[in-house]
Structure formats: C-alpha cells, structure tokens
C-alpha cells in the first residue's frame, strides 16, 4: 500500500508515480523512428537537416534518461514534490511520455519547449557541454527541493511554533502545506487543552482551600482561549477554526458540566447559594427539588461557572417558573390545565378520528399505499419531514391529476382550485378540516429537536382519517397517544418488497460501482470522497444537510436519471429520498455529535441500509462498508437482524396557540401576561404526563431572549415575537446568526429590509451555501410576517437564488479537473497532461521555434550564471517577437550558448531550423 498525499485537488500515491519508458529499447530503434518521421512528413533529402541526427538524438536521450530516473526516484520518495516540478517546468507525466520524448529528441530546440527552457545549443544545434550543464542544474534542483522538503518536515514535526507562517516555509509542496495546517491544529488544540487543564487545577485548588473566585478563574481561562483563536483567524479557514473551537468546547464540557466531578463540587457551592436567595425572597428552601436543581444546572451548561450576579438572575427566572407551576391558586391551575394536558384543548377532540398506522421497514411500500388513499380523498394534506419530500409529493400528486399546493417555510406554490396540500410538518394547517391526512416518518416523534412537530400533528390534525407511516419502534407511543385522544387505531404491517443482502466482504473505494450510494456523516467527508471518486473516473452526485432543497433535488435527479454514477450522501438520505440505489456502502459506522465520536444506532443502520434496492428495478439490494471499518459487516448484520426496541419518549414543544391561550387565561383572571422567554422556561420546567417529554428548548429560549432584548419598547406582538423565536436560524453558523440579528433589529425599528443579491458567479462553495441559507431565512421571515417591511421583487429574488443554486450544483457536480496551464480551459476527464490538445499542437508544430530576443538568463544561454540562477518561469510574458534574417538566422542576445563556451557563438556547426507546419508522427 503506497502513501497518499494531496496534489492540487487530487490525491497522489507513491504507487501512482508513472513508469518511465525503456530507454535502452528506444535507443535501439532511434534510426527507424527518424526515418519514419521523415517519411510521414514527406521530407526530401534536402529537408533532412530539419530533423536532428540519430547520433545527436541519442546524446539527448542519454541526458533525459539520467534526469528522468533521478526525478522518478525523488517523486517515489516524496510524491508531492512532483507538483513543484509540474509548476516550475512541465507536467512530469507529460515529460516522460514517449511521444513527448521523441519530439524533444528530433524536433525541439530545448528540453522544456512550453516554457522555452534548457536549450541544447545555438539555433537548434547541440552542445554536449550544455547538456551536462542542464543535467547538473536539474540534479541541483532535485537536491535542493529534497533538502528543503526534509528540513521543512522536520521543522513542522519537531520544532513547530505558533509564529510560523505557511507562506514563509521553504517547501511549498501540498504535503508541507497540509502538514503545516494539521500541525497547527494539533498545536492549538494541545495549547487549549493545556490552558483548560491549568484552569481546572486552579479551580480545584479553590475548592480545597476555600480561597479564590472560581468564576474569575473560569473567565480568565476563556479569555486565554479566545486570544488563541483570535491569533490564528488568518492562518486557518474559518470553518477549521470553528471546528477546532467546537472540539475545545466539547473537552471543556466533559470537565466543567454535569455529571463531572468538578461540576458536582460547583453544585455543592451553588445549591446553598440558591437557597440563601430563596430565604431573601421569603420562600421555602424546599421549593426546588434536587431533580429540578439538576435540570436547571444541566440547562446552564458551562454557565454554572459564571459570576454570582448572572447566576442569581438565571435562578430567579427559574423561581418564577416553578412558583407559577406550584401555586395552588388559579395561575397554577391554568398552567397545569393548558400545559399538563395540552391534547384536551384541540379542535380535533370534537371528532373521533381513524388513525391508520402503515408500519414497516424502508422499501416496503407503506408510504405508497398511504399516498394512494390520500389521492382518493376529496380534500387532504401530506406532512413531510423535509422540504425535498414535500416538493416530491407536490410534483407526484399534480402529475396524477390531484391539484396540490406546496407549502413550506421558504416556498409557497399555490395551484388554483387545489384540494390538497403538500407541506413540511411544521407548516401543518391544524385548524383546517381534511378528509385525509398523511404524516410521514412518524418515528421522528422521538427526535429531541423536531419531535414536537410530529406529536403536535398527530394530536391536533383535524381529519377524519389520519395515515401515519414509519417503522415499528414507536407503536406503543402511538397507541398511548391515540388512547389519550379518544381515537381509533388500525395497524397495517408491511414487509420489504425487495431483498436486502449484506455482502461477504468490505470493499475499497475503487470497487464502488454505478448505482452505489456511499454514506458519510459530515459535509467535509462528503466533499472529500466526492473528489476521491472523481479521481477514479466516476461521475458523482452529492447530498448533505447544508445544501438547500433545490440543490439536493437536482443532485438526486442526476443520480436518478443516470447522469451520475454514484451518490455520496449523509444520513439525510435515510429520510424518505426515493432513489434507485443498488447498494449502500457505509464509509464509517460512527459519527461526531458535539465533537464526540458516537456509533450510529441499529435503527439508523436499518433506515439507511434499507434504501438499497428498488421495486422492479433492483429486486435485490446490497449493503457493505469500506475496508477501513473494522468488524463493520458484523455490526451491519447485527443491526439488520435486530428487532427495534420500543421507544418510550414522545417529544412535545410549545406553540403560539398554547402561548396565547395561557396568556389569555391569565389575563382573564387578572394576572400578568408571560413574556415568551418566561413561558418557554415554564414549559421547559414542566414535568409532563408520560410518555411526553419536553424537547430541547435551549436554542428557542436563546432566540426569544435575543428578540426581547432587541424589542426594548415592546413594539412586537406576541405572534411576531414567537415567529422570530421559531425562525430557522443555524446558531452554529456565525454569518447566519449575524444576518438574523440584522433583520430583527431593522424589523423592530421599522426600517425597510432589502434583500441583497448573491454573487452567483462565485466559485466558493462555503459562500454559496451560506448565502443561499441566508436568502432562505429572508424568505421564511418575509412569508411569516406577510412581507411587512421586507422589500424585494420575488421574481428577481428567485431568479438570483436559482442562479446561485445552479452555480453551487455546477461546483458540486462538475468533476474537479485541472485546467490547461497555457490557455486556462478545462481539460477533459481523461486528460493526463497539464495542457489541452490545441495548445499542445500549437506548441509542437508552430513555426519559428527558437530563442527570443531579450529572453533573460537561462542555463546554457548568454548571461547564464550556472546552476544558481535556476530555471526561469516565463509564463506571464507577452508574445515572442523574432528578428528574422536571411537563411533562417536570428540576431540578438541569447542565440546560443555562453560566448566562448564550446558550441557557443557561431562555432557549433550549421544552424538547423526545424520545420513545424504539417508535421505528423
């Protein structure tokens, strides 16, 4: 197995260094090659001088043999140095091609014709001394590059420091650049860990001695970490810095949050502190239970180390929530009634619904049968987990003649006379009556982030017949909810329509085949494997979470219609994407959550692997993994054979209706209204009747507090405040948060909010992903608030966004290939050379090859200073200008070797002028 290194946009292995020609074999047939060249080009006897003699060609061949063997040895040991040779001289793969060598031997005046480097003598002549000089020059280049590379590697690995700069490194090969970035990340992480450990030791000392302020120590530690990240903001990409910061925060959470030993010591300090506050408020110290303290401290996360003033403020918020819930008066009863038994206060309780559970694994046809029932209804709706699926059903149902409107947070396509809706589950119309409703992927009801939307839909959708589709893991939960709601349940079991076989062995990346899906669990790996597969001549589609639905849809379409061979996808593929996949290949069976590596669950393996096979097209689906995943196939087999465990947690979350109902009930009883953040904290504090549990409201509370801080004059209505708090903001994406805050502040102050166009010509994938997400947030908010204050032309916005999506699709879909080093045009997928065919022909056959007036110092030419001057890269010069003389002679400096040197001046014998036009080989 060879070593692998990055080279530009591709991977270079030490086993991939191309083989050299057989120099001895070529030498033995040079005369016949020369005769063949003369014959093919119909040269007369008088024209033979245009083609170099076999004797001279052999001399050049001997020099080339030494040079190419030395280079091959160098690149075999250090593959990435080949990239430096490609840049400074010519693509090495081209340099060692047989046809290229024959051109040099018989037709060219120099060794590197493309850059006019290493001339053989004056006016096409041959000077053996100059050949020796060129050999020495290139051997010196090899020795210099090797020494610099080795020294640079030693510096990076053994003597690295934070002040080093990548652009100042003596070796600029991609291996050194990559190693520098890796070492910088490791160095920074080690420094951060050292700071965190030192902070931990100081805090432990305070707990032991009782002397010192732990919050001050923790703040100092954070400042030291912030200083480090600030110092490298221009040395690493922002995404790399963000990832590194996330890893450090994860390490800190292990030490400073529950259930760590240090967090337990802090709890022992905080609980008496909080009880003292309750005494000051004349409250019973037993008002807060130990379980409630644990929940509160867990929600605070690392904020348990903030100063007393902050902790007092947060604790008083908790107190207010707990007092509301535990009061024996009317306010406590209102909250218990509306929050404790939320399902009672639904319009759907006025009818007895029939719930039909289409239960089975993927590829079992369960959703198909549910949709068939939906299409037969007079009025119905389909609730999807993803915009992508909502759009797919919108297309499918309209094609079937069922007039359907698309309704998502970012996109509404109204169809006149529509009787059906296809929408994302968060956009469900709960107060509108339907004959039939389909809720897809019902097992999502247990999801800690979005599960509330499935619970809300199942409890509240106002339809006589509700079809739910999903696996068997939530059957008991569904039964319980149906029982609480007084509805009727019918379960329909389904089996896979296609076989699913686990293959006998794991595979390598090169063994992937057309119609395979390679599963990854991060955007970074998705892009990495896409590049690797394209290097193996596959056409690749790519799907991951940060892509907009339109981009995902187009990537999926290309795979579906055979325009691409393989799809590289994150686990987003498991959510109902209907694709013709013959085989699922897991790249790994672990994924990172909060910078920690976790094995994927048996349920996830079942869901993803189940996508293999397609009814009638692939009657048998296959699943395997890459070779690097040890015992991967055993894990997959165990997961597929396992019976799914019944889930016992069903997630609930707040909505505007409950928020409004609670405040109206409080006001009608002469009590104060709750601010949204207060209400959310109340909801978060509630202990619901089993099987209901509150979703993670941390992000929503954070957004609600941002809204309330911005709305100093209380200008926003409850609906507006709630709407902003529910906005689809990615709090982990700084640009997205900044854009959200900008819109929020302008909305509160009543300023017009203009949409800024995307630079759709950008070649930056990160930029396009982020700006498309920002535009989608703009669309969501403008639709949510009825376009109030949002100033934009919808057609222009959609057109500009569409152009950006098209550009992103192009960047993701196009194979990453080199461009021609001469004219910049994209090279073909099969190209092995650094220049295109046209430039190659032009360079190879153009007239008047030779030296150039005022060309500067080159080895073996006038003004040459020997090996120290090195090769001259003359790529950016303007066009050559020749001073033509009778007899094909040229004047001007640089016409031959150094004056006085053997073969220099005019002492090199008859000058040859190579005929270029119509040469054939």
pLDDT tens track for 565-597 = 999 998 767 665 678 899 999 998 888 766 567
Of 493, 518, 548, which closes a domain? 493
Question: Which has the minimum average pLDDT: 232-236, 469-473, 647-651?
Answer: 232-236
Tell me, yes or no, whether 439 and 504 share the same domain. no
pLDDT value of position 334: 63
Residue 908 reports pLDDT greater than 90? no
Tell me, yes or no, whether 407 and 444 share the same domain. yes
Nearest to 659 by CA among 366, 345, 399, 299: 345
pLDDT value of position 522: 82
CA distances from 404 to 416, 460, 461, 466 (A): 9, 22, 18, 18
What value does the mean pLDDT of the chain take? 81
pLDDT value of position 574: 65
Residue 221 reports pLDDT greater than 50? yes
Q: What is the pLDDT of residues 400-457, one digit of tens each?
A: 999 999 998 777 889 999 999 999 999 899 989 999 999 999 999 998 888 999 999 9
Nearest to 545 by CA among 518, 517, 524, 530: 524
pLDDT value of position 734: 82
pTM: 0.61
pLDDT value of position 551: 79
Q: What is the mean pLDDT of residues 338-364?
A: 86
Q: What residues have CB less than 8 Å from 108, skipping those under 6 apart? A: 849, 914
CATH code, domain with 376: 3.40.50.300
Confidence of residue 682 (pLDDT cuts 50, 70, 90): confident
Q: What is the mean pLDDT of residues 505-519?
A: 91
pLDDT value of position 901: 32
Tell me, yes or no, whether 401 and 429 share the same domain. yes
Decide if 80 is inside a domain.
Answer: yes
Q: What is the mean pLDDT of residues 237-258?
A: 83
Residue 144 reports pLDDT greater than 60? yes
Q: What is the pLDDT of residues 833-866, one digit of tens each?
A: 445 666 655 544 443 333 332 333 333 333 333 3
Q: What is the pLDDT of residues 535-574, one digit of tens each?
A: 888 999 988 766 777 777 888 889 989 999 999 998 767 6
Decide if 482 is inside a domain.
Answer: yes
pLDDT value of position 868: 36
Tell me, yes or no, whether 144 and 187 share the same domain. no
Tell me, yes or no, whether 365 and 475 share the same domain. yes
d(C-alpha 379, C-alpha 402), whole Å = 10
Half-sphere exposure of 842 (CA within 13 A, CB side): 8
pLDDT value of position 284: 82
Q: Which residue has the higher pLDDT, 246 or 900?
A: 246
pLDDT value of position 880: 28
DSSP 52-70: --HHHHHHHHHHHHHHHHH
Tell me, yes or no, whether 363 and 468 share the same domain. yes
Residue 640 reports pLDDT greater than 60? yes
Question: Which has the minimum average pLDDT: 113-117, 365-369, 586-590, 594-598?
Answer: 594-598
Q: What is the mean pLDDT of residues 748-758?
A: 91
Tell me, yes or no, whether 856 and 885 share the same domain. yes
Axis-axis angle for helices 174-209, 214-231 (nearest 10): 170
Q: What is the mean pLDDT of residues 717-729?
A: 91
Question: How large a percentage of the chain has pLDDT more than 90?
Answer: 35
Cβ–Cβ < 8 Å for 50, 915: yes
Q: What is the span of the domain harbouring residue 460? A: 342-493
d(C-alpha 253, C-alpha 251), whole Å = 5
pLDDT value of position 7: 39
Question: Which has the minimum average pLDDT: 204-218, 729-743, 840-854?
Answer: 840-854
pLDDT value of position 889: 34
* Beta bridge mates, 819: 826
Question: How large a percentage of the chain has pLDDT more than 70?
Answer: 83
Question: Which has the minimum average pLDDT: 36-45, 72-81, 336-345?
Answer: 336-345
Confidence of residue 892 (pLDDT cuts 50, 70, 90): very low
Decide if 446 is inside a domain.
Answer: yes
Of 493, 524, 548, which closes a domain? 493
pLDDT value of position 185: 85
Nearest to 341 by CA among 676, 678, 696, 686: 686
Tell me, yes or no, whether 365 and 483 share the same domain. yes
Q: Which residue has the higher pLDDT, 118 or 522?
A: 118
Residue 18 reports pLDDT greater than 90? no
Residue 90 reports pLDDT greater than 70? yes
pLDDT value of position 832: 45
Decide if 164 is inside a domain.
Answer: no
Residue at token pair 């339809």: 463
pLDDT value of position 855: 31
Tell me, yes or no, whether 486 and 608 share the same domain. no
Axis-axis angle for helices 30-40, 98-106 (nearest 10): 80
Residue 904 reports pLDDT greater than 50? no
pLDDT value of position 825: 57
Domains identified in the chain, total number:
5
pLDDT value of position 299: 83
Decide if 458 is inside a domain.
Answer: yes
pLDDT value of position 50: 76
Q: What is the pLDDT of residues 23-58, one digit of tens each?
A: 999 999 999 988 888 887 777 666 677 788 999 999
Of 641, 671, 692, which closes a domain? 641
Element (H, E) at 464: strand 463-470
pLDDT value of position 96: 92
Q: What is the mean pLDDT of residues 249-272?
A: 90
Q: Which residue has the higher pLDDT, 370 or 167?
A: 370
Tell me, yes or no, whether 4 and 115 share the same domain. yes
Decide if 385 is inside a domain.
Answer: yes
Decide if 737 is inside a domain.
Answer: no
Decide if 217 is inside a domain.
Answer: yes
pLDDT value of position 644: 80
DSSP 413-439: E--TT--EEEEEGGG--TTS-EEEEEE
Confidence of residue 720 (pLDDT cuts 50, 70, 90): very high
Question: Which has the minimum average pLDDT: 39-48, 464-473, 519-528, 866-875?
Answer: 866-875
pLDDT value of position 325: 66
Q: What is the pLDDT of residues 480-501, one digit of tens each?
A: 999 999 999 999 999 988 889 9
CA distances from 19 to 16, 94, 113, 217, 658 (A): 9, 12, 22, 61, 73
- In this structure, what token pair is assigned to residue 172? 């600029």
Tell me, yes or no, whether 507 and 480 share the same domain. no
Q: What is the mean pLDDT of residues 200-215?
A: 89
Confidence of residue 317 (pLDDT cuts 50, 70, 90): confident
pLDDT value of position 921: 44
pLDDT value of position 295: 83
Tell me, yes or no, whether 481 and 355 share the same domain. yes
Is beta strand 380-384 parallel, antiparallel or unpaired with respect to 420-424?
A: parallel
Q: Which residue has the higher pLDDT, 914 or 640?
A: 640
d(C-alpha 249, C-alpha 596), whole Å = 11
Neighbours of 193 (CB within 10 A): 14
């Amino acid at each position: 197995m060879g070593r692998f290194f990055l080279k530009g946009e591709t991977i270079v292995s030490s086993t991939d260094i191309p083989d050299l020609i057989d120099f001895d074999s070529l030498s033995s047939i040079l005369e016949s090659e020369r005769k063949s060249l003369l014959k093919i080009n119909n040269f007369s006897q008088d024209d033979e001088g245009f083609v170099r003699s076999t004797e001279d060609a052999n001399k050049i061949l001997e020099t080339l043999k030494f040079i190419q063997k030395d280079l091959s040895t160098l690149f075999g040991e250090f593959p990435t140095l080949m990239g430096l040779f490609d840049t400074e001289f010519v693509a090495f793969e081209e340099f060692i091609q047989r046809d290229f060598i024959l051109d040099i031997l018989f037709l060219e005046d120099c060794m590197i014709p493309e850059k006019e480097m290493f001339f053989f003598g004056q006016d096409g002549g041959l000077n053996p001394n100059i050949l020796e000089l060129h050999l020495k020059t290139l051997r010196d280049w090899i020795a210099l590059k090797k020494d610099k590379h080795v020294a640079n590697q030693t510096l990076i690995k053994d003597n690295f420091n934070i002040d080093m700069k990548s652009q100042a490194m003596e070796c600029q090969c991609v291996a050194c650049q990559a190693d520098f970035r890796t070492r910088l990340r490791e160095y920074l992480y080690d420094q951060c860990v050292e700071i965190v450990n030192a902070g931990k030791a100081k805090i432990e000392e305070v707990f032991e001695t009782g002397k010192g302020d732990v919050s001050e120590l923790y703040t100092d530690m954070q400042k030291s970490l912030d200083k480090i990240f600030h110092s490298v903001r221009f040395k690493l990409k922002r995404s790399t810095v963000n990832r590194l910061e996330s890893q450090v925060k994860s390490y800190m959470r292990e030490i400073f949050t529950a259930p760590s030993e240090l967090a337990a010591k802090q709890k022992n300090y905080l609980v008496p502190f909080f009880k003292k506050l309750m005494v000051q408020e004349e409250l019973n110290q037993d008002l807060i239970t130990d379980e409630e303290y644990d929940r509160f401290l867990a929600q605070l996360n690392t904020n348990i180390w903030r100063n007393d003033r902050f902790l007092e403020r947060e604790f008083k918020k908790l107190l207010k929530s707990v007092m509301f819930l535990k009061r024996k008066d009317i306010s406590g009863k209102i909250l218990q009634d509306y929050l404790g038994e939320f399902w009672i206060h639904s319009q759907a309780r006025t009818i007895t619904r029939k719930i039909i559970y289409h239960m089975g694994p993927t590829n079992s046809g369960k959703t198909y049968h549910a949709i068939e029932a939906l299409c037969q209804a007079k009025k119905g709706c389909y609730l999807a987990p993803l915009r992508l699926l909502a759009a797919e059903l919108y297309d499918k149902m309209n094609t079937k003649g069922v007039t359907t409107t698309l309704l998502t947070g970012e996109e509404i396509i109204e169809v006149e006379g529509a009787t059906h809706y296809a929408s994302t589950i968060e956009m469900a119309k709960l107060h509108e009556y339907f004959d039939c409703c389909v809720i897809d992927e019902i097992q999502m009801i247990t999801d800690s982030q979005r599960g509330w939307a499935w619970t809300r839909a199942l409890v509240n959708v106002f339809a006589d017949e509700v079809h739910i589709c999903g696996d068997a893991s939530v059957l008991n939960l569904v039964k319980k909810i149906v029982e609480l709601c007084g509805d009727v349940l019918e379960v329909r079991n389904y089996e896979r329509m296609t076989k699913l076989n686990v293959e006998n062995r794991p595979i390598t990346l090169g063994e992937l085949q057309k119609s395979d899906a390679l599963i990854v669990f991060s955007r970074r790996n998705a892009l990495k494997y896409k590049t690797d597969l394209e290097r193996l001549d596959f056409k690749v589609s790519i799907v991951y979470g940060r892509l907009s639905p339109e981009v995902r849809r187009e990537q999926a379409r290309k795979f579906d219609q055979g325009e691409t061979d393989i799809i590289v996808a994150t686990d987003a593929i498991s959510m109902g994407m209907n694709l013709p996949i013959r085989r699922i290949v897991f790249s790994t069976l672990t994924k990172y959550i909060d910078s920690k590596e976790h094995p994927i669950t048996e349920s996830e393996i079942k869901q993803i692997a189940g996508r293999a096979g397609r009814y009638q097209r692939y009657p048998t689906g296959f699943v395997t993994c890459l070779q690097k995943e040890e015992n991967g196939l055993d894990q997959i087999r165990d997961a597929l054979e396992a019976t799914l465990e019944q889930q016992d947690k069903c997630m609930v979350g707040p909505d505007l209706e409950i928020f409004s109902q609670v405040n109206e009930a409080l006001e009608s009883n002469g009590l104060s209204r709750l601010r949204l953040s207060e209400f959310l904290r109340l909801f978060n504090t509630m202990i619901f009747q089993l099987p209901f549990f509150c979703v993670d409201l941390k992000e929503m509370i954070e957004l609600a507090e941002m809204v309330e801080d911005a709305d100093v004059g209380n200008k926003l209505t409850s609906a507006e405040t709630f709407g902003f708090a529910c906005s689809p903001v990615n709090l982990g994406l700084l640009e997205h948060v900044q854009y959200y805050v900008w819109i929020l502040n302008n909305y509160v102050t009543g300023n017009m909010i203009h949409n800024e166009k995307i630079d759709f010509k950008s070649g930056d994938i990160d930029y396009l992903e982020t700006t498309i997400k920002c535009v989608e947030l703009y669309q969501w908010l403008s639709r949510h608030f009825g376009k109030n204050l949002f100033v934009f032309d919808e057609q222009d916005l959609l057109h500009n966004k569409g152009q950006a999506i098209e550009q992103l699709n192009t960047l993701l879909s196009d194979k990453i290939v080199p461009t021609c080093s001469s004219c910049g045009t994209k090279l073909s997928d099969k190209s092995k050379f650094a220049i295109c065919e046209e430039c190659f022909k032009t360079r190879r056959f153009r007239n008047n090859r030779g030296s150039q007036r005022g060309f500067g110092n080159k080895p073996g030419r006038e003004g040459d200073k020997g090996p120290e001057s090195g090769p001259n890269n003359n790529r950016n010069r303007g066009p050559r200008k020749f001073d033509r003389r009778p007899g094909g002679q040229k004047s001007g400096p640089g016409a031959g070797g150094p004056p006085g040197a053997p073969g220099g001046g005019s002492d090199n014998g008859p000058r040859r002028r190579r005929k270029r036009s119509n040469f054939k080989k």
